[in-house]
Amino acid sequence: MRGSADGVASDRSAMSNGGVAVDKGVDFANYFCTYAFLYHQKEMLSDRVRMDAYYNAVFGNKHHFTGKTVLDVGTGSGILAIWAGQAGARKVYAVEATKMSEHARELVKANNLEDVIEVIEGSIEDVTLPEKVDVIISEWMGYFLLRESMFDSVICARDRWLKPTGVMYPSHARMWLAPIRTGLGDQKMRDYEGSMDDWFGFMDETKTYYGVDMSVLTKPFSEEQKKYYLQTSLWNNLHPNQVVGTAAVIKEIDCLTVTVIDILNVRASISSSITTEETRLCGFAGWFDVHFRGSKENPAQHEIELTTAPSEDHGTHWGQQVFLLHPPIEISEGDDMIVNFSMNRTKENHRLMEVELSCEIRKPSGKLLPPFKNKYSIE
Amino acid sequence: MRGSADGVASDRSAMSNGGVAVDKGVDFANYFCTYAFLYHQKEMLSDRVRMDAYYNAVFGNKHHFTGKTVLDVGTGSGILAIWAGQAGARKVYAVEATKMSEHARELVKANNLEDVIEVIEGSIEDVTLPEKVDVIISEWMGYFLLRESMFDSVICARDRWLKPTGVMYPSHARMWLAPIRTGLGDQKMRDYEGSMDDWFGFMDETKTYYGVDMSVLTKPFSEEQKKYYLQTSLWNNLHPNQVVGTAAVIKEIDCLTVTVIDILNVRASISSSITTEETRLCGFAGWFDVHFRGSKENPAQHEIELTTAPSEDHGTHWGQQVFLLHPPIEISEGDDMIVNFSMNRTKENHRLMEVELSCEIRKPSGKLLPPFKNKYSIE
């Protein structure tokens, strides 16, 4: 395979984002361009858990929308703006950074809301609205909540455009972590080992046929492959019975008051008790939920929850992020774990994350298993 | 799936490239980053056709290297520089834009050539060498030769650093086009139709459950999917018996004299005779070859050819680019075709290409089939 060379427009202005200078052209190349495809919008619009939650949040709480002004941050195809309009909003500003804005405008018109909804193409950071708004609605959640760092833009919008009495949709968010069992780790280890077997064959051939000794690259190649197969978190929709211990909240966010500084890092020390007989601890799963509760002064009439927790019937396109252990550890019901979790944005790309996870396991007898510490990237 | 957010360093300086302003940070994000992975280097280093050609070109023509100065443009892991060194070069400058340069440096040292080979990390456009060179060697070929537009950098290097008596490795390149039969078109049409079936189901559900009429997006969605499934060229290693007519050269390049202007567009009008009994014309395949002939004043002792033509046993990682026809056309031995081919760089990304291909078929009876014209992108 040759190199990738995906298309993208160039824009060289820089913005400040969580203290990191971000080149907008690069950010578009890496990030926004995906959202310009209807196929991708359709994937999100087909997520029934996501759709039901926002739909029920809006139509179950019409008092937040009727006669009000609303801002939809990253409207995509325009669905949330249209629901806000259908729920009786006086005016909806629907901001979208990509060319998807043109489709949103068409969709708004086809649903007879062009008098209510104004679709604005631009970064929310650059947009000027003619008024402050009563509600900010946005579907900003990435994998494990914070990947993509899109919430930064929602916070920026809130600080600039939400009235002091305004309401955030969603209003709250939480991140969860739990110990799990899974066959994914064995599979990934086989993939890694297969890749290294290939490498050794390749190295022999290159020496034999082409007279070049590649052995000095074995270590960096192995590290690259380890990072790819073993130290990168995996997307998965787990079955609830794969969760082998109690889940714990590692971050709580009040969308009305949180700052970008508050979400730059996620650090937590949690405890979890193993709730499954004789099993293998194969790693940890991270997921999130968000809630639509309105505000203290202006509460929801019907509180709605959107959860991406392991579920037998209600998987989401977010799934869970799985952090694997190599090798797995034998554990039993009643074992107690202390897990230290830390997540930061990567230096190279503020939309990607690196995780450090350390763990101590205490048997009911009081015996401590050897502690371990691992690093992962969320890509 | 959420959006992509692949890691990349930011660099905001701009360069001129074929008349197009290119943002280097964006170019890195889109293009160079792939080459920083050893896994990707290994894919190219495992291509025996590629490796044999360069190996035989260098060691079959040691007179071009012994005691000479050499520049390797885009050295990657450093293999061509190492061969040049092993063939007796006095000095080799090995320039690489990505962090792969660090691995190249290690590989050079491990193969005891650190006194001969100097690995330089940087864009060839920015690098200053202490002297002009006798040979420029580079493996710059992308899919269908010109995708990636890396040859621009080789031309830049040649104009700045090659002695008037210097030699290019490779010295010549050609692009080919031929009519083919393949089952890929039927498969892609099924994929496209399946995607549209999904869309109509999705549209119904969105109306029924969520009260939004999506029908206005059917046309743009269909266009997006057509472009993806039907109007994007495909990578394939064809069997020679899938080529159903004579192949024709659509571009010839003398690497010693060609300019960037000469390769911005490829335009050709060619004829091809169908050489297969009763079959279907399913599309066209494009491929390339390059030759190592030295220069007129300093010719090769052993001319070497690297071809990526359809081959029973010698497929390459470049394969061929397939441009599909929908639907296929019934053709027979003796039919004559006139094909007009045109390829340009896309506006958004100078490393990607757009192709226009029109065709007229004349039966031996003199009867003309309805002509057709199609557009494709090479991504």
A128 Cβ contact list (under 8 Å, min separation 6): none
Closest CA in chain A for residue B145: A2
CB contact A311 to B (< 8 Å): no
CB burial of residue B275 (10 Å; 0-12, 13-18, 19+): middle
Instruction: Mark whether B102 is an active-site residue.
Output: no
Tokens of A322: 């799985």
The answer to whether the CB of B244 falls within 8 A of the CB of B181 is: yes
Distance from CA of B119 to the nearest CA of A (A): 16
Which of B364, B365, B363, B345 is CA-nearest to residue B355? B345
Report d(CA B139, CA B151) in Å as an integer.
Answer: 9
Cβ-defined contact of B12 to A7 (cutoff 8 Å): no
Q: Which candidate from B30, B38, B77 shows the least CB-CB separation from A8?
A: B30
Distance from CA of B79 to the nearest CA of A (A): 8
CB contact A354 to B (< 8 Å): no
The tens place of each residue's pLDDT in chain A, 379 residues long, gives 455 544 333 332 333 344 446 677 777 767 777 788 999 999 999 999 999 999 999 999 999 999 999 999 999 999 999 999 999 999 999 999 999 999 999 999 999 999 999 999 999 999 999 999 999 999 999 999 999 889 999 999 999 999 999 999 999 999 999 999 999 999 999 999 999 999 999 999 999 999 999 999 999 999 999 999 999 999 999 999 999 999 999 999 999 999 999 999 999 999 999 999 999 999 999 999 999 999 999 999 999 999 999 999 999 999 999 999 999 999 999 999 999 999 999 988 888 999 999 999 999 999 999 999 999 999 9
Distance from CA of A159 to the nearest CA of B (A): 25
Report d(CA A84, CA A320) in Å as an integer.
Answer: 29
Q: Which candidate from B14, B225, B349 shows the least CB-CB separation from A8?
A: B349
Angle at A215 between CA A214 and CA A220, to 5 degrees: 95
CB contact B317 to A (< 8 Å): yes
Cβ-defined contact of B6 to A202 (cutoff 8 Å): no
Q: Which candidate from A2, A110, A148 shows the least CB-CB separation from B216?
A: A110
Q: What is the 3-state secondary structure (H, E, C) of chain A?
A: CCCCCCCCCCCCCEEEECCEEEEHHHHHHHCHHHHHCHHHHHHHHCCHHHHHHHHHHHHCCHHHCCCCEEEEECCCCCHHHHHHHHCCCCEEEEEECCCHHHHHHHHHHHCCCCCCEEEEECCCCCCCCCCCEEEEECCCCECCECCCCCHHHHHHHHHHHEEEEEEEECCEEEEEEEEECCCHHHHHHHHHHHHHHHHHHHHHHHHHHHCCCCHHHHHHHHHHHHHHHCCECEEECCCHHHECECCEEEEEEECCCCCHHHHHEEEEEEEEEECCCCEEEEEEEEEEEEEEEECCCCEEEEEEEEECCCCCCCCCCCCEEEEEEEEEEEECCCCEEEEEEEEEECCCCCCCEEEEEEEEEECCCCCECCCEEEEEEEC
pLDDT of residue A23: 76
Report d(CA A170, CA A179) in Å as an integer.
Answer: 27
Cβ-defined contact of B39 to A79 (cutoff 8 Å): no
Out of B121, B131, B139, B223, the active site residue is: B139
Report d(CA A356, CA A231) in Å as an integer.
Answer: 10
Q: Which candidate from B79, B205, B212 shows the least CB-CB separation from A212?
A: B79
CB contact B110 to A (< 8 Å): yes
pLDDT of residue B272: 97
Cβ-defined contact of B349 to A6 (cutoff 8 Å): yes
The segments of chain B whose pLDDT lies below 70 read 1-22, 29
Residue numbers in A near B33 (CB within 8 A): 4
Report d(CA B164, CA B142) in Å as an integer.
Answer: 27
CB contact B10 to A (< 8 Å): yes
Report d(CA A330, CA B8) in Å as an integer.
Answer: 39
Cβ-defined contact of B379 to A45 (cutoff 8 Å): no
The answer to whether the CB of A244 falls within 8 A of the CB of A180 is: yes
Which of A375, A323, A282, A8 is CA-nearest to residue A143? A323
CB contact B212 to A (< 8 Å): yes
CB atoms within 10 A of CB A322: 22
Partner A, chain B 152-191, Cβ-Cβ below 8 Å: none
Crossing angle for the helix pair B48-59 and B79-86, nearest 10 degrees?
30
Report d(CA B150, CA B139) in Å as an integer.
Answer: 9
pLDDT of residue A187: 96
The answer to whether the CB of B103 falls within 8 A of the CB of B169 is: no
Residue numbers in A near B25 (CB within 8 A): 23, 25-26
Closest CA in chain B for residue A317: B1
Rg for chain A, CA atoms, rounded: 23
pLDDT of residue A34: 78
pLDDT of residue B21: 59
Torsion of CA B72, B74, B76, B77, to 10 degrees: 10
Distance from CA of B308 to the nearest CA of A (A): 13
CA atoms A79, A80, A81, A85: torsion sign: positive
CA distances from residue B352 to A100, A247, B64, B156, B259 in whole angstroms, order as listed: 22, 47, 34, 19, 19
Q: Count the residues in chain B.
A: 379
pLDDT tens for B248-306 read 999 999 999 999 999 999 999 999 999 999 999 999 999 999 999 999 999 999 999 99
Instruction: Mark whether A277 is an active-site residue.
Output: no
H-helix or E-strand spanning residue B288: strand B279-294
Predicted ipTM of the assembly:
0.89
Partner B, chain A 80-109, Cβ-Cβ below 8 Å: 82-83, 86, 103, 106-107, 109
Angle at B164 between CA B161 and CA B167, to 5 degrees: 75
Q: Which candidate from B30, B107, B111 shows the least CB-CB separation from A4?
A: B30
- The DSSP code for B44 is H
Out of A114, A118, A121, A148, the active site residue is: A148
DSSP B114-134: TTTEEEEES-TTT---SS-EE
Q: Which candidate from B34, B111, B217 shows the least CB-CB separation from A4?
A: B34
Tokens of A280: 């293998």
A169 Cβ contact list (under 8 Å, min separation 6): A54, A57, A58, A64, A135, A136, A137, A138, A292
Report d(CA B49, CA B28) in Å as an integer.
Answer: 28
Sole residue written with tokens 């064959």 = A201
The answer to whether the CB of A168 falls within 8 A of the CB of A295 is: yes
Q: Which long-range contacts (CB under 8 A, 24 or more apart) does B267-270 make?
A: B267/B341, B267/B342, B267/B343, B268/B177, B268/B340, B268/B341, B268/B342, B269/B338, B269/B339, B269/B340, B269/B341, B270/B177, B270/B338, B270/B339, B270/B341
Report d(CA A285, CA A182) in Å as an integer.
Answer: 10
Report d(CA A142, CA A351) in Å as an integer.
Answer: 9
Partner B, chain A 117-146, Cβ-Cβ below 8 Å: 142-143
pLDDT of residue A17: 40
Sole residue written with tokens 């380890």 = A226
CB contact B31 to A (< 8 Å): yes
